[in-house]
Amino acid sequence: MQNFDYLVIGSGIAGLTFALKVAQHKPHSKVCIVTKANENESNTKYAQGGIAVVLDTILDSYQKHIDDTLKAGDGLCDRNVVEIVVTEGSARLRELIDWGVRFDKNGKGDFHLGLEGGHSQNRILHHNDITGFEIEKNLLIQIHRQSNIQLFSSHLAIDLLLEKDSQTVESKCSGALILNTETGTAEVFRSSVSMLATGGVGQVYGTTTNSVIATGDGIAMANRVGAKIQGMEFIQFHPTALKHGSSSPSFLISEAVRGSGAYLVNANGERFMVNYDSRLELASRDIVSRAIYTEIKNTGSDCVYLDCRHLDKVEFENHFPNIAARLKSEGIDVSRDLIPVAPAAHYLCGGIDVDVHGQTSISGLMACGECAHTGLHGGNRLASNSLLEAVVFAHRSYLKAIEIALKPSYIHESLEWFKYASANVESEKRIAHWRKQVQNIMDENAGINRMDKTLQAAKVKIKSLEIKVEKAIETVGFSLPLIELRNLIVIATMIVDASLERNTNKGTFFKIEFDKVKILA
């Protein structure tokens, strides 16, 4: 049993920013961060693009950024939230800079503002093409300086703990059951405020840009305690993940590459975006992804290509050193060769429903970052709005969290029933196999184009796997891969159910039968 005032689950930009702010403001409080991996492993690390902030008030304006966000969200954004996030962005950006995060500047000493799909103006601040990595690194430096923050690596949250509040008789979150994956022991971490910052769900798909730890643990845990969850059908597919070999995660070729002038061509060498959208290669991600998906189907190939041959090679390498190095290691010379790319699951627009202060529908439980649904993204996220959302909502959540009275929890859990499944080749092989099956089912049936009939079939298959996994837990006990798999199955079920329910094509969501209705009408 351990007691904390604030328990933060997840160590990406959302969790670290929130923890840092709370700890700095309340130096006598005890703040705990748990992460199942190493402290620096998260989707944040892989964010290449940057952070969208309106700094240039001559060419750009809050209104333009708001309009771009609303347009991408396809009518499903919460306008109030969009306004909040866009207008509060610059203040949060300054804090990042104060914490040591460096953003690229142009020759005149001003910030270099990049352009990405769906943005009407250049407004993406970035650190080369490794912005997320730069932010994560500096936040961790700050975290380690803060003596009232304890960071536990290799600690996996299994489930949230609820207790009845003695006064209001309402259920309240009092912490979480945490598994130390190195020792195999489970322990109760009590807290007054719990913050879910567990990131994305990309690993529910076979082709994803998300880290192998992006298994939707926070959303699955929130679901099990009955928190309200929304928008799970809105999965953004990044149009251009490198299609070379079959490593997971897939390596991302940032939108900014298209922003700097790269063309998309199909297997026949034709520049095809002219047939889909007047914004060509810089149309919003759902349109580009679906166009690529269609071209792949029509040409019978497994990819399309990014053509950078007309771009200045030196400039490309300066702006995208990380991408250039990776391509080089794959034997691709951008001045001569085409870059094979295909869409990959990239970002979850929905998640755990939170209000404008980051509070979920469960008292004492907050959520922030990719696992939260704030209403900013609506049906589709605008590029580089996610790091922005994370810092703005981490700040707002922090302001709320420090207001919440810190009442010690007396929740007691006997953990006698807990059985750890120590590593066993046979069962690990089986779990890995089931995980692959979930991913195959989702790739085939809940990807860019969906259909009720196949979603229904997917639901049965997922249910069948769920039963097998529950049986496995009964017989062998709990382990990290089994708990992740269990969570992936919850996520897959939520995505499929939400997809079956939705009957209009919006944002990233696309059902074939509704498209036909539109054509016939």
- Any idea which residues carry the catalytic annotation? 285
Nearer to another protein, 209 or 479 (CB): 479
Interface with another protein (CB under 8 A), residue from 148, 223, 374, 445: 223
Residue among 20, 85, 220, 296 that touches another protein (CB under 8 A): 220
Number of helices (H), then strands (E), in the chain: 15, 16
Among positions 144-183, residues that touch another protein (CB under 8 A) are: 158-159, 177
Instruction: Extract the tokens encoding 427.
Output: 């069962």
Q: Closer to another protein by CB, 307 or 413: give it.
A: 413
| Binding segment toward another protein, per CB under 8 A, in 15-23, 249-257, 329-337, 425-433 | 425-433
358: left (phi over 0), alpha (psi -120 to 50) or beta: left
- In contact, 193 and 366? CB cutoff 8 Å: yes
Given a contact cutoff of 8 angstroms between Cβ atoms, the answer to whether 324 and 242 are in contact is: no
Nearer to another protein, 77 or 483 (CB): 483
Does residue number 226 form part of the binding site for another protein (CB under 8 A)?
Answer: yes
Among 55, 140, 212, 225, binds another protein (CB under 8 A): 225
Asked if 520 is part of the footprint of another protein (rule: CB under 8 A), the reply reads no
Q: Check if the beta carbon of residue 135 is closer than 8 Å to that of residue 44.
A: yes
Closest CA to 183 of 153, 212, 213, 159: 153
- Pairing mode of beta strands 2-9, 185-196: parallel
In this structure, the strands spanning 229-230 and 351-353 are: antiparallel
Closer Cβ to another protein, 356 or 457, answer by number: 457
Of 182 and 474, nearer to another protein (C-beta) is 474
Site for another protein in 192-211 (CB under 8 A): none
The answer to whether 239 and 251 are in contact (CB under 8 A) is no
Alpha-carbon distance of 94 to 111, in angstroms, equals 12
Exactly one of 141, 429, 515, 516 binds another protein (CB under 8 A); that residue is 429
Q: Which is nearer to another protein, 67 or 159 (CB)?
A: 159
Q: Which amino acid is at 8?
A: V
Question: C-beta of 470: minimal distance to another protein in Å?
Answer: 7
What is the Cα–Cα distance from 423 to 398, expressed in whole angstroms? 39
Q: Looking at 436, 444, 504, 513, which residue binds another protein (CB under 8 A)? A: 436
Question: Which window, 31-39, 223-231, 265-273, 384-392, contacts another protein (CB under 8 A)?
Answer: 223-231
Residue nearer to another protein on the CB measure, 335 or 464: 464
Query: Candidates 91-99, 196-204, 282-290, 426-434 — which segment interacts with another protein by CB under 8 A?
Result: 426-434
Q: Which of 106, 120, 3, 13 is nearest to 70 (CA)?
A: 120
* Beta strands, E only, 287-428: 304-307, 339-348, 351-353, 365-367, 372-373
Query: Is residue 189 part of the contact set for another protein (CB under 8 A)?
Result: no
Q: Does 265 bind another protein (CB under 8 A)?
A: no
Distance CA 174, CA 34 (A): 15
Backbone angles phi, psi at 315, to 5 degrees: -65, -40
Where are the strands (E) in 308-452, listed by range?
339-348, 351-353, 365-367, 372-373
Rounded to 5 degrees, what are φ and ψ at 99? -80, 0
Q: How far is the CB of 433 from another protein (least distance, A)?
A: 4
Kindly state whether residue 397 participates in binding another protein, applying the rule CB under 8 A.
no
Q: How far is the CB of 384 from another protein (least distance, A)?
A: 34
If one asks whether residue 442 binds another protein (CB under 8 A), the answer comes out as no
Minimum distance of another protein from residue 359's CB (angstroms): 21
Q: Which tokens sit at 178?
A: 């945490």
Q: Give the range of 19-27, 115-123, 254-262, 423-431 binding another protein by CB under 8 A.
A: 423-431
**DSSP element (H, E) containing 455:** helix 452-476
5 binds another protein (CB under 8 A): no
Which range binds another protein by CB under 8 A, 13-21, 92-100, 216-224, 365-373?
Answer: 216-224
- Reference 265, options 281, 286, 285, 241; nearest CA is 281
418 contributes a contact to another protein by CB under 8 A: yes
According to DSSP, the β-strands at 2-9 and 31-34 are parallel
Contact positions with another protein (CB under 8 A) in 448-487: 453, 456-457, 459-461, 463-468, 470-471, 473-474, 478, 483, 486
Q: Which is nearer to another protein, 456 or 503 (CB)?
A: 456
Question: C-beta of 414: minimal distance to another protein in Å?
Answer: 9
Question: Residue 450: beta bridge partners?
Answer: 511
Nearer to another protein, 194 or 284 (CB): 194
The full length of the chain comes to 521
Measured from the CB atom, the residue of 91 and 415 that comes closer to another protein is 415
Cα 389–390–394 angle (5° rounding)? 115
Shortest Å, Cβ 495 to another protein: 15
Binding residues for another protein, rule CB under 8 A, total 40
Smallest gap from Cβ 100 to another protein, in A, equals 40
The minimum distance between CB 283 and another protein, in angstroms, equals 35
293/304 Cα distance (integer angstroms): 9
Contact 241, 342 (CB under 8 A): yes
Report how far apart, in Å, the C-alpha atoms of 219 and of each of 9, 113, 124, 435 are: 11, 34, 29, 18
- Which spans of this chain sit near another protein (rule: CB under 8 A)? 158-159, 177, 220, 223-226, 413, 417-419, 426, 429-430, 433-434, 436-437, 453, 456-457, 459-461, 463-468, 470-471, 473-474, 478, 483, 486, 489-490
